[in-house]
Amino acid sequence: MRVVVLGAGLLGVASAYYLQQLGHEVTVVDRHATPAAKARGRVDAGVAAATTRLLQQSAARRAARAKWAGLYVGLRRRFARLLDGAIGAPPKSRPIEHLVRLGTYSRESARALRDEAGVPPRARNAGLLSFYTDATAFDARKARASHWRALGCEERLLSADEALRIEPALEAARSALAGATYVPDDLARDPAQFAASLVFLCRAAGVRFLTQHTVLSLKERAGRIEHVEFLDADGQHGVLRGEAYVLALGIGSVTHAEKLKIAMPLRFLREYIATMPIKDPSRAPRVMLRDKQGKLRIRRIETPAGDRLQVSGSVRASLDEHGEPDSDRFDAMLRRIETLLPEVADTERASLETAVHAVSRSGLPMIGKTRLRNLFLNTAPGAQGWINACGAGKSIARIVSGLRPEVAFAFRGA
């Protein structure tokens, strides 16, 4: 079957690889000059700005509908939910349980791919350590441990002393540490090398990439997608036809879904990112850290100017607009880092930036069928939608092929 994958992010590339493995003829269309551009650090500022404008336009459209057609929109949404009930039904269990299962399945799939591609595991920055400075919160996590293990969660529970043996950088915060959880092999820590290997495997398997091609529209006819219209690198219009289509454009999927009357309920997050020079490399974190109480992600990154410490956190955009100013949020982040990791990074020289992301209201990636018989979704708008790329890609390939997915998840149309 000829399958067209719209979007060459990690989700699209993974979808293409597994579709090709199941015997399909796959073409991937993307506006960037190279597949998996974001994961490989090859997205230019102009494209990033265009993505931000897209988010703002989507938010403006929603605000306008709410202001001028609130009653109509409410009725339409209720009717759409009824029509979409069998397609995009909400999960029957808590979203976190679905994410745990998908995460486990994705890691297993990624390890198999990594072995196939011959990518050696990296010793540095291996693993994800989530630490707690609130004893009550850590006790609650311990109480759920057996349930998470039954779902396939690979996180290990650690005492404060065990956490420090894995990450000595937290020694200054020893008195505040209640405990931690640890995943030894966090494949998402550095997606660039893995993305390059996955693209190589796709090309070797015969996947065709149409880069610098911008998807303009998906044309529907008789309950199916008839063709896709695009603009190539020379500004020429073109048409692409397939027997099935996978929409994997991230936030770009929203505009096309709205035009096709496919429900994609979203909420918006504002991410705050602080990147700062490392004063003492010997005291800097060796693994990726997640501060559960401070709601921060902390990692050591490599840049042309040397190693940096990058700290990020997100809040709901709607709340942030009328709440704490950006400067106050950054100040709070930097104070937290100075408390947890004193003298590790030069917070006075931190570069500060913000980004807006859209995520699904349920918090789950949107994977599965739509009301159009030959259109499928594999999209996870948000800052880290690529984390479950292999599990999502393998699952959508099976769904497109008429096979049952191998993992229990809230797939659309399941």
Which of 310, 333, 359 represents a domain boundary (last residue)?
Answer: 359
User: Is residue 21 in some structural domain?
Assistant: yes
> What CATH number is associated with residue 260?
3.50.50.60
Looking at the fold, whether 21 and 98 belong to one and the same domain comes out as: yes
> What CATH number is associated with residue 284?
3.30.9.10
Q: What interhelical angle do 389-400 and 95-117 show, nearest 10?
A: 90
User: Is residue 407 in some structural domain?
Assistant: no
d(CA 316, CA 330): 15
Looking at the fold, whether 273 and 343 belong to one and the same domain comes out as: yes
Where is 165: in which H helix or E strand? Answer: helix 160-166
Q: Strand 179-183 vs strand 156-158: parallel, antiparallel, or unpaired?
A: antiparallel
Looking at the fold, whether 75 and 210 belong to one and the same domain comes out as: yes
d(CA 314, CA 324): 13
Amino acid occupying residue 256: H
Q: Distance between terminal CA atoms of the chain?
A: 22
User: Is residue 149 in some structural domain?
Assistant: yes
Domain ranges, residue 287: 124-186+268-359
d(CA 194, CA 185): 13
Q: What are phi and psi of 211, to 5 degrees?
A: -90, 165
Lowest-pLDDT range of 98-107, 169-178, 376-385: 376-385
CB under 8 Å to 219, separation ≥6 — which residues? 225, 226, 227, 228, 229
Res. 108: pLDDT tops 70: yes
d(CA 179, CA 292): 11
Lowest-pLDDT range of 60-69, 172-181, 272-281, 376-385: 60-69
User: Is residue 118 in some structural domain?
Assistant: no
User: Is residue 200 in some structural domain?
Assistant: yes
User: Is residue 412 in some structural domain?
Assistant: no
Q: What interhelical angle do 45-68 and 252-259 show, nearest 10?
A: 40
Which of 310, 338, 359 represents a domain boundary (last residue)?
Answer: 359
Given pLDDT bands bounded at 50, 70 and 90, which one contains residue 68? very low
Q: What interhelical angle do 389-400 and 10-21 show, nearest 10?
A: 40
Looking at the fold, whether 70 and 139 belong to one and the same domain comes out as: no
Looking at the fold, whether 96 and 245 belong to one and the same domain comes out as: yes
pLDDT recorded at residue 92: 54
Looking at the fold, whether 335 and 377 belong to one and the same domain comes out as: no
Looking at the fold, whether 64 and 13 belong to one and the same domain comes out as: yes
Lowest-pLDDT range of 69-83, 113-127, 167-181, 369-383: 69-83
Over residues 218-232, the mean pLDDT reads 96
Domain count, the chain: 2
Res. 199: pLDDT tops 60: yes
Given pLDDT bands bounded at 50, 70 and 90, which one contains residue 197? confident
Name the range with the highest mean pLDDT among 66-75, 337-346, 374-383, 385-394: 337-346
Looking at the fold, whether 98 and 9 belong to one and the same domain comes out as: yes
Looking at the fold, whether 73 and 16 belong to one and the same domain comes out as: yes
Over residues 249-267, the mean pLDDT reads 87
pLDDT recorded at residue 110: 85
pLDDT recorded at residue 42: 60
Over residues 133-141, the mean pLDDT reads 96
User: Is residue 114 in some structural domain?
Assistant: no
Q: What confidence tens digit (pLDDT) does each residue in 354-367 have?
A: 887 777 888 888 99
User: Is residue 41 in some structural domain?
Assistant: yes
Looking at the fold, whether 195 and 343 belong to one and the same domain comes out as: no
Lowest-pLDDT range of 183-187, 239-243, 312-316: 183-187
Res. 320: pLDDT tops 60: no
d(CA 94, CA 412): 16
Over residues 5-29, the mean pLDDT reads 95
Give the bridge partners for 149, in sequence order. Answer: none
pLDDT recorded at residue 62: 47
Looking at the fold, whether 149 and 274 belong to one and the same domain comes out as: yes
Looking at the fold, whether 30 and 136 belong to one and the same domain comes out as: no
Res. 368: pLDDT tops 80: yes
Copy the structure tokens of residue 34: 């190279």
Res. 53: pLDDT tops 60: no
d(CA 336, CA 172): 12
Given pLDDT bands bounded at 50, 70 and 90, which one contains residue 383? very low
